[in-house]
């Protein structure tokens, strides 16, 4: 798969996406944060699935290289509408979804609001319920574009710091430094409280309980961005869900435990 992106129109947004492979459609949904994009999150993972699935990696509205519109209210309803628009533009009626962090929350939103479009769900490090804003999420809002700041922020994500390369830091910094990128991101994530904890709210257990799609929940035990308790809440609430907790693993499950992650997900999607 090359890094050459395609463009389509969905929910009124010029949308950046990558595509590879043939077969049943499989969406890989990115997380949030400075310099994030679908390609940055999933480029190394796509070949592990493109032999058997039609893999689509979009940049969700307001993120990555997809259009951000001033004056537009970005919330879960718009993001779900955007994802449905992407599916419609690609003539995909139903698909499997692998969602990383924010992307997992978006996949949950789709399963709640448009369950007929969802075949199976894989949720990585996904927020749910209510929890205190972590250092990783606070850092994403407070980030000011620079190589040092990006290096410091990225250190909060994996368990093994050796995973962070200078090439990775450079690429994420360059994306985060695009004019308006950080200002746009701050409109999409909760502003940290000036005093006391900031409460982050994800889908509650009552909404999760309505999801009928078979679901695989994966979380890193040492996740310092989205607490593992969120993974337990999701797995305990979705009726047809399994949970896999990776030890010695932070927020980047697909990178930190790539071989085991791919084997687990391939098995689940092939059932």
Break the chain into its structural domains and give their ranges.
6-270
In this prediction, residue 2 carries a pLDDT of 52
Specify the long-range contacts of residues 185-190, CB closer than 8 Å, at least 24 apart.
185/32, 185/33, 185/34, 185/63, 185/140, 185/141, 186/141, 187/62, 187/74, 188/32, 188/62, 188/63, 188/74, 189/32, 189/137, 189/140, 189/141, 190/133, 190/137, 190/141
At 2, phi and psi to the nearest 5? -85, 170
pTM of the model: 0.97
**What's the CA gap between 158 and 113, in Å, rounded?**
32
Predicted local confidence at residue 189, as pLDDT: 87
Statement: 6-270 belongs to CATH 3.40.50.1820: yes
Q: Where in the sequence numbering do the catalytic residues fall?
A: 101, 223, 251
Q: What pLDDT is recorded for position 1?
A: 43
Residues of the chain scoring pLDDT < 70: 1-2
């Amino acid at each position: 798969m090359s890094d050459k992106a395609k463009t389509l129109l969905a929910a009124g947004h010029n949308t950046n996406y990558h595509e590879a492979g043939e077969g049943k459609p499989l969406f890989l949904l990115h997380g949030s944060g400075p310099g994030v994009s679908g390609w940055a999150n999933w480029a190394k993972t796509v070949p592990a699935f493109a032999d058997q699935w039609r893999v689509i990696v979009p940049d969700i509205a307001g993120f990555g290289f997809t259009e951000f519109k001033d004056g537009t209210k970005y919330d879960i309803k718009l993001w779900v509408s955007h994802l449905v628009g992407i599916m419609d533009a690609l003539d995909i009626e139903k698909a499997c979804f692998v969602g990383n962090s924010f992307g997992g929350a978006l996949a949950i939103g789709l399963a709640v609001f448009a369950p007929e479009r969802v075949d199976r769900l894989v949720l990585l490090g996904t927020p749910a319920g209510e929890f205190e804003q972590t250092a990783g999420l606070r850092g994403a809002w407070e980030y000011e574009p620079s190589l040092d700041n990006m290096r410091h922020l990225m250190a909060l994500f994996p368990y093994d710091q050796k995973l962070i390369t200078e090439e990775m830091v450079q690429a994420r910094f360059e994306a985060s430094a695009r004019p308006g990128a950080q200002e746009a991101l701050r409109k999409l994530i909760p502003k940290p409280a000036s005093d006391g904890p900031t409460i982050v709210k994800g889908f509650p257990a009552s909404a999760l309980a309505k999801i009928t799609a078979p679901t695989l929940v994966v979380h890193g035990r040492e996740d310092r961005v989205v607490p593992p308790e969120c993974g337990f809440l999701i797995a305990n609430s979705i009726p047809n869900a399994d949970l896999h907790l990776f030890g010695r693993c932070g927020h980047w499950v697909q990178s930190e435990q790539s071989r085991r992650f791919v084997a687990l997900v391939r098995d689940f999607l092939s059932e």
